[in-house]
Amino acid sequence: MDSLLLSSFSTPSVLSKGGNNWRRCNLKNVEFPGSYVAYNVSRLRVWKVREKPCSAVFQPSSLKHCAKGSETFVFYQRPNERFLVKAAGGQPLESEAKNDMNSAKDALDAFYRFSRPHTVIGTALSIVSVSLLAIEKLSDFSPLFFVGMLEAIVAALLMNIYIVGLNQLYDIDIDKVNKPYLPLASGEYSIQTGVMIVASFSILSFGVGWLVGSWPLFWALFISFVLGTAYSINVPLLRWKRFALVAAMCILAVRAVIVQLAFFLHIQTHVFKRPAVFSRPLIFATAFMSFFSVVIALFKDIPDIDGDRIYGIRSFTVRLGQKRVFWICISLLEIAYTVALLVGASSGFLWSKVVTVLGHTILASILWTNAKSVDLSSKAAITSFYMFIWKLFYAEYLLIPLVR
């Protein structure tokens, strides 16, 4: 949209266009007191020119629209100052609002990708599932329980975004090869923006944990912070992701141990004020998720083999090959499902026995069927299957509260 901004002086006259020049004249039926000087405004700067001097300063009653032939003017007025914006080219100024809406959508989409949503969903589901293990009777479903669970979810999600964001900050070059759609790798986010988000979310997470006053929750956040930082940050003796075994142990410690034990104890001891106990379902959840966490730690590197090899990340996939690691992961999950079947079959509750045995049988069958059809030469196919494993991860957390 071609535009013109006219600013006022004291002598009553206005400007109109003649050929390629602007001249002073009077516009009939259009009252703009004062004299105006024309300023050409570029196509990309129009909205900013309107927005900054007008939206924050002028009252709604001082905005006027008028038309002169095919030309549209918007007049803004405040004491001793007048601004006239001319919109030409047949495009209304309101179309700029659509551009702002699109910009907002793009910003939300970038943050969505930056937060690694599959990990956010996994964290939220795991906390809900483990919290339900502390339920002993129907009356435990109280506002106190839901508030305590929500506090844990908020604090953990803030820390989750800190961890995945920090990893992206130190993996920009690698992600340009492996995950070019991430905001830092694509250039949508500057390094300064990434640092600001990561620092803010870590502070907010600890702030929530401190305000809640739950020691299990606070220690869960602190240990996750330490391991997540050591995993990614590139300083001597750290950046543990370079070492396959240590990297897997970091993920196992957070996903399998911290999540199960710390968040269960948060509900059990802080919310319900009960003594700490390690029940059969809790032990099962910790053991099963240990298998699953190792699988996620191994499998996530299979589609990333190119960037890891270039930048010296000695993952198991780089060392052993994609096919071998793929089938190690499938075997570990099938072993975990077999153990889950045995645990379910030994339950003293018929409903729990039926649901857990049937549920794990179905999941094991789906896993095997899908694994056989994966094209290991296709990065897209491997990545898609990796996201399928996360769906199995979610499904398991739906079954864990039913293990009794």
> What is the mean pLDDT of the segment spanning 305-326?
90
> What is the mean pLDDT of the segment spanning 113-121?
96
> Percent of the chain having pLDDT more than 70?
76
Return d(Cα 183, Cα 315) in angstroms, integer. 24
pLDDT at 271: 97
Return d(Cα 54, Cα 57) in angstroms, integer. 5
**Considering only 30-44, 138-152, 344-358, which range has the smallest mean pLDDT?**
30-44
Task: Find all residues with CB under 8 Å of 273, minimum gap 6, and list them.
Answer: none
**Considering only 52-56, 114-118, 378-382, which range has the smallest mean pLDDT?**
52-56
Higher pLDDT, 317 or 52: 317
Q: What is the C-alpha end-to-end distance of the chain, expressed in Å?
A: 67
Cβ atoms 110, 188 nearer than 8 A: yes
pLDDT band at 17 (very low <50, low <70, confident <90, very high): very low
> What is the mean pLDDT of the segment spanning 172-186?
95
Instruction: Say yes or no to pLDDT of 218 above 70.
Output: yes
pLDDT band at 92 (very low <50, low <70, confident <90, very high): low
Distances (CA, A) of 185 to 116, 172, 190, 215, 231: 14, 5, 9, 37, 19
pLDDT at 117: 96
Instruction: Say yes or no to pLDDT of 23 above 90.
Output: no
Question: Considering Cα of 102, then 107, then 108, then 109, what sign does the dihedral take?
Answer: positive
pLDDT at 97: 75
The pLDDT mean for the chain works out to: 82
pLDDT at 96: 72
Buried b (16+ CB within 10 A) or exposed e, 224-241: bbebbbbbbeeeeeebbb
Comparing C-alpha atoms, which of 212, 294, 397, 135 is closest to residue 221? 212
pLDDT band at 102 (very low <50, low <70, confident <90, very high): confident
pLDDT band at 101 (very low <50, low <70, confident <90, very high): confident
pLDDT band at 314 (very low <50, low <70, confident <90, very high): confident
pLDDT at 18: 42
pLDDT at 91: 52
Distances (CA, A) of 155 to 32, 48, 127, 225, 261: 56, 37, 11, 12, 16
Note the pLDDT tens digit of each residue in 203-214: 999 999 999 999
pLDDT band at 199 (very low <50, low <70, confident <90, very high): very high
* Residue tagged 């492996």 (tokens): 178
Beta-strand relationship, 21-25 and 71-78: unpaired
pLDDT band at 95 (very low <50, low <70, confident <90, very high): low
Token code pair at residue 62? 């001082």
Buried b (16+ CB within 10 A) or exposed e, 92-107: ebeebeeeeeeeeeee
Q: What is the pTM of this model?
A: 0.74
Note the pLDDT tens digit of each residue in 227-278: 999 999 999 999 999 898 899 999 999 999 999 999 999 999 999 999 999 9
Cβ atoms 192, 246 nearer than 8 A: no
> What is the mean pLDDT of the segment spanning 153-166?
97
Cβ atoms 270, 249 nearer than 8 A: no
Beta-strand relationship, 71-78 and 63-68: antiparallel
Cβ atoms 356, 339 nearer than 8 A: no
Return d(Cα 21, Cα 50) in angstroms, integer. 23
pLDDT band at 289 (very low <50, low <70, confident <90, very high): very high
pLDDT at 261: 95
Instruction: Say yes or no to pLDDT of 135 above 80.
Output: yes
Instruction: Say yes or no to pLDDT of 154 above 90.
Output: yes
Q: How many residues does the chain have?
A: 404
Distances (CA, A) of 285 to 186, 216, 254, 289, 291: 38, 18, 13, 6, 10
pLDDT band at 93 (very low <50, low <70, confident <90, very high): low
**Considering only 6-20, 92-106, 180-194, 232-246, which range has the smallest mean pLDDT?**
6-20
pLDDT at 71: 45
pLDDT band at 69 (very low <50, low <70, confident <90, very high): very low
Question: Considering Cα of 38, then 42, then 43, then 49, what sign does the dihedral take?
Answer: negative
Residue 63 has phi, psi (to 5 degrees) of -100, 125
